[in-house]
Structures are given as C-alpha cells and as structure tokens.
A and B are shown apart, each in its own frame.
Chain A
Amino acid sequence: MDLNLTAAEQRFRDEFRAWLEANIPAEWSKSESHEFESTDDRFEFLRAWQKKMYEAGWAGISWPKEFGGRGASLIQQAIFLEEMARASAPPLLNVLGLSLLGPTLIAYGTEAQKKRFLANILSADEIWCQGYSEPNAGSDLASLRTEARLEGDHFIVNGQKTWTSLGHHADWCFAVVRSDPESARHKGLTYLLIDMHSPGVSLRPLKQMTGESEFNEVVFQDVRVPVENAVGKINGGWEIAIATLMFERGTLGASLQITFKRQIERLIQLARGIDRNGRPASDDPIIRQKLAQIFTEIEIFKLNQLRTLTRMSKSGVPGPEGSIQKIFWSEMNQRMQQVAMELLGPYGQLTRESDYTVDHGQWAYAYLRSRGNTIEAGTSEIQRNIIGHFVLGLPKSY
C-alpha cells in the first residue's frame, strides 16, 4: 500500500503539467466562464486545441502506441485527467471517439476500419457522436427499434436516436440498430458506423431544463450505410455495444474529483463572507456540519476511485464497481448543490443575467444540472440493479 506517486508517475505528471502550463491558449484562461461569440466559435477553438494536444502526443493516451496513443496505465490516465482539471484546461472535444469508439475499434474493428477511422479520431478531424438511446429505449436499451434493412451491400437505416451529445457537430455516429426485424431484445442488433453527412440524417436540439442544449435528437430516414461499416458480426452488435459501455467506466472520476474539490473550496471561501444571523456563515454550526460532510464525501470519492484503479490495474478489466462510484458522485453532487443553495440563500437562485449573481450564476446552473447526474449514463436505479446482481450475486430482477 503506497498512496504516493511512483517516480515514473511523478515524471509523467510533471511533464504533462509543464506542457499544459506552456500551451493552454491565453484566450481560454483569461475568460473565467470560457465564453465564445457562438457555439461554432467554441467548437472550432476546441477542435484546434485537440489537434494541438494530438500533435504533442496527449490525445488518446490510453490507446496502444501502434495506434497513436501512449499505452498509458490507468493511474497515468487518472493523473492526466486530474491535471487537465487542475489546470482548467479546455476539454478534449472528440471525447466519445477517444474514450468509447477508439478502444472499441482497436478491440473489435477490421484492419480497414482501424486505418480509416482511428487517426482522425485523435486529430479531431472527424468528430463522433453516440447513437444508443431512443425515445422508447432508455434504461432498457435492448428494446431499441431503429431499423437497418440490408439491401445488397448497404443497410437502409430508419429510426430515431436521442440524448445524442455533440450531434450537431458530429461527422460520424456509432449506433446500435436492429438489423433483424424478426428479432427481439439483445439479438438481431448490429453496431454500425454512420456518416452524419449522409442524405436522410436530420437533427433537432433537445433543450434541457437548464436552458442549454447539450444533446440532440437524430432522425434517420432511408439513410444508406455501406455494409463494411458494421463493427463485429451482423446481428452480433449487442456484445460490442456493451464492450463500448465498459470503456465508459473507470477513469471518469479523476476529473470529477478535482471539479468537486474546487467547488467545496469555493463554498468554504464564500461561507466566510456570507452573513448568517449576524456572524459569518462559516461560524454557523449547521453550515459547518454540512460543509464538513460534503468535504468528507469528496475525499472518500477520491479514495474509492484510487482503490478501483488499483484493482483494475491488476485485473485489467473495468468491473461493475464503477456503478458504486457513479451512484456516489451523482448523489453527492446533488447534496453539495443543495448545500450551496442553503449557503447562498436568496442569491443562489440568480442566473448569470442578473447583476446580483454569485460566481456568474454557476450555482443556480449546477443545482439544476445536477438533477441529470442520477439519470445520465445509467440511472441510480439501474446502477443499484447492477450492484445487486453483478457484485452481490442477487438474482436478476428482470
């Protein structure tokens, strides 16, 4: 047991930290809220940023060297994400391609697919979105209905996907579709790479309760997809779809942990300046209890993460323990945002358009946004089912 970084891990951290310091564009650092004239401006800025990281060898570090990555260990990946968060670096734009599709293609793709797609994921020359959820297939993904009819050497795709992030900027979509119309549930599905510039693809932004649009609905109408764009076997897509999801778990916690830590530190700082019954809120026993509780939970989140990483480093596979982490951080964040609201009082509700807002309205925004945390990437209920069945060995409930 050694919670210090090894010398090699320290070198890796120092190297990346120095690179970030030297390379984060001034136009990003100078604006605290990282605002751009338009979402297109923001998009182009981030695309250029990923390209810069790619050229320095910092995109897709978990990928094997032969495919342009660094073959970074899990601990290195965690360090990477921590440093990105610590430096408030601009995010990597092509995140779904880097963390989900890339590893999937490396494991299951044909040589031609690897050659065609991998390098452009790293360089952000082609941006990817994910086509999993449908209006009637959320938690129950296997009930999806988007249809792919095989006609000669093409699939004809018809249907609708939803909660598609980056959809409006994506060049490509990795989707799960029903290729055997007679099939039910997990059988008869195919994992398909769809060109988003094909005729018949249309998009509609999904406006969230926060007012912004992170996600889209995507409609496919008679979209033609060459048969060689299937990953894995035709009608054998479920296995690939699940493998992709497993890549999603694991290292995400590293960057969240820094974000949370920064937020609790900011709340403690704010508490010193807020008047509560004639004295600083930081002296109020109830506020102190609540801040200390959140502080503790954030530390424990980090420690759970370290234990999971150690275990995964030894076993080589991400396990269902990721579900514990998902529940822990999403529910903790909701409690933290509620504590922020209690601390800020009437000011907490103000949005960034108000002259009286605290921290550009980020607390009102984070309060609303956190409601999505216990739903996105598997609801808390689904996560608890996974723990019950896959970790504790209880009989499947459905």
Chain B
Amino acid sequence: MEFELTETQKLFQRSARELFAQECPPPTVRQMIENDAPYSGELWDKLVEQGWTGLIFEEDAGGLGLGMVEMAVAFEEMGRALVPGAFLSTVPLAGALIDGAGNAAAREWHLKNICEGRAKATVALLEDNARWDLDAVNLRATETADGMKLKGKKLFVSDAGAADIIITAARRGSELILAIVARDAAGVGIKHMSAIDATRRLYEVSYADVHIPSGDILAQGHAAESALAHAIDVATLALSAEMVGGMGWVLETSVEYAKTRKQFGKPIGQFQAVQHHCANMLLMTESARSAVYYAAWVMGNDPKHAPLAVSMAKAYASDAYREVGNLGIQVHGGIGFTWDENLHFYYKRAKASELMFGDATYHRERIARLVIDRAEEPVTRATRAGD
C-alpha cells in the first residue's frame, strides 16, 4: 500500500509546474483578467502542443491515454497557476462526455478534434432553477423530420463564448437528450453573465428553435444519463484538484508574507494568532489533497465507489478553499484586500469553484443518499486507471 505519486507522476508534476511558470506567469494572468480576455490562443496552442487536450483520452482518439491521477496532477498545477481559459470545460467535462457517450461517430470526429486542438467545447446543463441534478433538465427538444429542435435557455454555461461546440442537455418527453450544438448554429444566442471570477466566464445560451440533425444527437435516455453523470464526476474531480492547487498557492503565499511582514518589531508569523491561521490553512489544504487523490485513484481503479469519493472530495474542498481564502486575506491584512495583490483572484476562483458542480451542501446530500440511504448510482464504465 502506497499513497503518494510515483516517480513518473512527480516528473509530470514538475514539468507541468515549469510549463505554467513559463507560459502563464502571474503578470500574464493579471493582464488577461484586467483586459477581460481569459481565452489566450497562444496558451491554448502550447497546451495542444504538449498533448494536454488529449490528456485522459485513449491513443485511438488522438489522446495521451493518461489516468485520473495524472489528470488530478495537471489540474492541481493549473489551479496553482490560476490558468484562465476553457480547459476544464473542454477536456474533463465535454471531452469526457463525448468519450463516454457510446457514440462512435461523435467520438471519432469531435473527440479527435478536441484532442488535436481543433475544437473547444463545453456542456450546457443548468437552467433557471440552477440545480445541478439531472432531474432539473427541462429544455425542450421536439422531434422534426430529420432530427430535433431545441427551444429554451441555459444559464451558467462555462466558457460557451470560446467553445466551438456546446453539448446541450435537453428533455424530449421524459427522456434526457444530449445534443451537440455548434456555437454558430442558427438560433443560438450567447450572452456573457458577468460574475466575480474573470478567469472562467459564464454564459447564458439561448436556443430559438435550433435545428439538430439526428447525427448530432450524442446520446439519449439512460445512456445519456449515465454518460452525463460520469462526465460531471470526472469534471468535478478535475475541479477539486484545481482547488487544491489554488489552496496550496494561497497557503504558501500567506506563509511567505507572514515571514516577511513586520509589526511590533517582529515578523507577524511569530505571533501565535497568525501561526494558528497558517496551521489551519495547511491542515485543510493537505486534507483536501488526500481526498482528491483518493478520488482520482478510486475513479481509475474502483469505479463503483467513485461517486462517493468524488462527492467527499468536492464537499471538503468547497468549504476548505473558501476558508483557506478567508484566512489568507486575514493573514495579509489590508494588503490582502487590495486589487494589486493577486490573492483576490484566487479568492474569487474559490467561490466560483465552490458553486460549480454543486457546493458542499449539495455533495453532502449526495453522500447521505449513498451512505445513509445506501442508494446505488449506476455503475459507469471504468476510466483508465492511473499507475
């Protein structure tokens, strides 16, 4: 039994850290935020060049074929560097959905496009009621002669403005439908929803009788449900790993500050009140990290228990990243409240991440269903195991 990264995984971690130090240093992130331009073609090209857009997909689809643990490593490093852009929406969310939907043609075309850097993608799930459970999907799909048409509105769609395709969850009668919608299709309207985290933009997507040719129905019914549930779990795991990386950055930055900032003639880190804040930040960061890497391992090796492990990771990380952010600002004092420090960018990402794919309360209820009610979730296909 061994609970730590292998040497190869550590090597991957180091090279990822170097990649972002080089390609996405803090001044670049700040510039992207201040120019309200979180989607950098240059950065995306670098990720494509490294094969990252195919990180978790098999070689036959043009991917690298790495496992869930490697994915967690990649996202932890992206969270530490606060990498802006559509990576989360494209790879572990939309990509995993296409990969798992059991639609060979879509996999052959769209997943390959993602892996090879020709397309970005996202998933449109939430509606007015802003519920993350699949029962809340209501957007109307109606049959036409050669496919379906979609009518309605989606909210909080991440990165829709940058995505080439928006996989849209809709309902035909009682049946769940996953439709692949081109962003520039006739009748599709895209409007930015201004929110606190400028590194991952949210959009309203409207559908005015958007025509979906039958070849663009990714999945329907039970297949759609289990593929979507699985993709959301993969993306939730990736997001939780990203949150751990952010926590690590906030912790290290705050500890560094506590060592150098002097008041009453000594470093403030010499005062126990400040030390204890830092100790609490470490405790939460390391605990979240344990939960995330466990979930990554389980998803690759014991998929039956993945929903519980993912929900535990997201529930804990959601509370922890927010609280680590709270303490980080408190340790920094006045300077932590200024625009000029980078801390608040992480603080805003923490809140946005907490809300994405369900907050701690949402995931605790899911844990309760699994543990107290002993509810069974459908076993989805096994994801490739890490080493």
A and B: partners? yes
Report A's interface with B, CB cutoff 8 A.
1-6, 9, 75, 268, 271-272, 282, 285, 288-289, 291-293, 295-297, 299-300, 303-304, 306-307, 309-311, 324, 327-328, 381, 383-385, 387-389, 391-397
What chain A residues lie within 8 Å of B130 (beta carbons)?
none
What chain A residues lie within 8 Å of B272 (beta carbons)?
381, 384-385, 388, 397
Confirm or deny: B271 has a beta carbon within 8 angstroms of a beta carbon on chain A. yes
Contact call B259/A395, Cβ cutoff below 8 A = yes
CA gap between A281 and B386 in the complex, in Å: 40
Confirm or deny: B147 has a beta carbon within 8 angstroms of a beta carbon on chain A. no
Confirm or deny: B32 has a beta carbon within 8 angstroms of a beta carbon on chain A. no
What chain A residues lie within 8 Å of B280 (beta carbons)?
384
Contact check: which of B276, B279, B364 meets A293 at CB < 8 Å?
B364
Contact call A1/B2, Cβ cutoff below 8 A = yes
B4 (CB) vs chain A CBs: closest residue:
A310
Contact call B365/A292, Cβ cutoff below 8 A = yes
Contact call A394/B255, Cβ cutoff below 8 A = yes
Contact call B279/A396, Cβ cutoff below 8 A = no
Distance between B69 CB and nearest chain A CB, rounded to angstroms: 6
Confirm or deny: B338 has a beta carbon within 8 angstroms of a beta carbon on chain A. no
Question: Given that A1-B6, A282-B372, A394-B270 are contacting pairs, would A324 and B276 also be in contact in the complex, using a CB cutoff of 8 Å?
Answer: no
Contact check: which of B1, B267, B365 meets A3 at CB < 8 Å?
B1
B67 (CB) vs chain A CBs: closest residue:
A1
Contact call A307/B372, Cβ cutoff below 8 A = no
What chain A residues lie within 8 Å of B387 (beta carbons)?
1
Contact call A296/B316, Cβ cutoff below 8 A = yes
Contact call A304/B371, Cβ cutoff below 8 A = no
A5 (CB) vs chain B CBs: closest residue:
B1
Distance between B240 CB and nearest chain A CB, rounded to angstroms: 13
Number of interface residues of B (CB under 8 A): 46
What chain A residues lie within 8 Å of B259 (beta carbons)?
393-395
What chain A residues lie within 8 Å of B315 (beta carbons)?
292-293, 296
Given contacts A4-B1, A300-B287, 14 further A-B contacts (CB under 8 A): A1-B2, A1-B387, A2-B1, A3-B2, A3-B3, A75-B1, A292-B368, A296-B364, A306-B290, A310-B2, A328-B283, A381-B272, A393-B259, A395-B269
CA gap between A324 and B279 in the complex, in Å: 8
Confirm or deny: B291 has a beta carbon within 8 angstroms of a beta carbon on chain A. yes
27 A-B pairs, CB-CB below 8 angstroms? A1-B69, A1-B386, A3-B294, A3-B297, A6-B1, A75-B1, A268-B371, A288-B368, A289-B365, A291-B371, A300-B290, A300-B316, A304-B286, A304-B290, A306-B290, A307-B290, A324-B283, A324-B286, A328-B287, A388-B278, A389-B275, A392-B278, A392-B282, A393-B255, A393-B259, A394-B278, A397-B271
Report B's interface with A, CB cutoff 8 A.
1-6, 9, 69, 255, 258-259, 266-267, 269-272, 274-276, 278-280, 282-283, 286-287, 290-291, 293-294, 297, 301, 312, 315-316, 361, 364-365, 367-368, 371-373, 386-387
Distance between A312 CB and nearest chain B CB, rounded to angstroms: 11
CA gap between A84 and B225 in the complex, in Å: 43
Contact call B291/A300, Cβ cutoff below 8 A = yes
Contact check: which of A5, A6, A282, A327 meets B283 at CB < 8 Å?
A327
Contact call A1/B368, Cβ cutoff below 8 A = no
Contact check: which of B255, B258, B279, B364 meets A288 at CB < 8 Å?
B364
Distance between B73 CB and nearest chain A CB, rounded to angstroms: 10
Contact check: which of B4, B269, B282, B373 meets A1 at CB < 8 Å?
B4
- Interface SS of chain B: helix, strand, loop or mixed? helix
What chain B residues lie within 8 Å of A297 (beta carbons)?
316
Distance between B337 CB and nearest chain A CB, rounded to angstroms: 22
What chain B residues lie within 8 Å of A307 (beta carbons)?
3-4, 286, 290
Distance between B74 CB and nearest chain A CB, rounded to angstroms: 15
The A-B contact count (CB < 8 A) is: 148
A293 (CB) vs chain B CBs: closest residue:
B364
CA gap between A397 and B4 in the complex, in Å: 32
A383 (CB) vs chain B CBs: closest residue:
B279
Distance between B313 CB and nearest chain A CB, rounded to angstroms: 9
What chain B residues lie within 8 Å of A394 (beta carbons)?
255, 258-259, 267, 269-270, 274-275, 278
What chain B residues lie within 8 Å of A397 (beta carbons)?
270-272, 275
Contact call B364/A292, Cβ cutoff below 8 A = yes
Contact call B364/A385, Cβ cutoff below 8 A = no
A-B pairs with the 9 shortest C-beta distances? Answer: A388-B275, A303-B290, A292-B364, A394-B269, A288-B368, A387-B279, A292-B367, A384-B279, A306-B3
Contact call B286/A388, Cβ cutoff below 8 A = no
What chain B residues lie within 8 Å of A393 (beta carbons)?
255, 259
What chain B residues lie within 8 Å of A268 (beta carbons)?
371-372
Distance between B274 CB and nearest chain A CB, rounded to angstroms: 8
CA gap between A94 and B9 in the complex, in Å: 43
CA gap between A271 and B365 in the complex, in Å: 15
CA gap between A295 and B366 in the complex, in Å: 12
A271 (CB) vs chain B CBs: closest residue:
B372
What chain A residues lie within 8 Å of B361 (beta carbons)?
289
Contact call A295/B371, Cβ cutoff below 8 A = yes
CA gap between A53 and B4 in the complex, in Å: 33
B295 (CB) vs chain A CBs: closest residue:
A303
Distance between B285 CB and nearest chain A CB, rounded to angstroms: 10
Contact call B276/A388, Cβ cutoff below 8 A = yes
What chain A residues lie within 8 Å of B293 (beta carbons)?
1
What chain A residues lie within 8 Å of B365 (beta carbons)?
285, 288-289, 292
What chain A residues lie within 8 Å of B274 (beta carbons)?
394
Question: Given that A289-B361, A388-B276, A392-B278 are contacting pairs, would A299 and B270 also be in contact in the complex, using a CB cutoff of 8 Å?
Answer: no
What chain A residues lie within 8 Å of B372 (beta carbons)?
268, 271-272, 282, 288, 291-292
What chain B residues lie within 8 Å of A328 (beta carbons)?
283, 287
Question: Given that A1-B4, A388-B272, A394-B270 are contacting pairs, would A299 and B312 also be in contact in the complex, using a CB cutoff of 8 Å?
Answer: yes
Interface centre among B9, B279, B280, B371 (most CB of A within 10 A): B279
Interface centre among A291, A297, A384 (most CB of B within 10 A): A384
Contact call B364/A396, Cβ cutoff below 8 A = no
Interface centre among A3, A297, A328 (most CB of B within 10 A): A3
Interface centre among B6, B9, B373 (most CB of A within 10 A): B373
CA gap between A285 and B373 in the complex, in Å: 13
B296 (CB) vs chain A CBs: closest residue:
A1
CA gap between A306 and B286 in the complex, in Å: 12
Contact check: which of A9, A293, A299, A387 meets B1 at CB < 8 Å?
A9
Interface centre among A2, A5, A385, A388 (most CB of B within 10 A): A388
What chain A residues lie within 8 Å of B367 (beta carbons)?
292, 295-296
Contact call A306/B1, Cβ cutoff below 8 A = yes
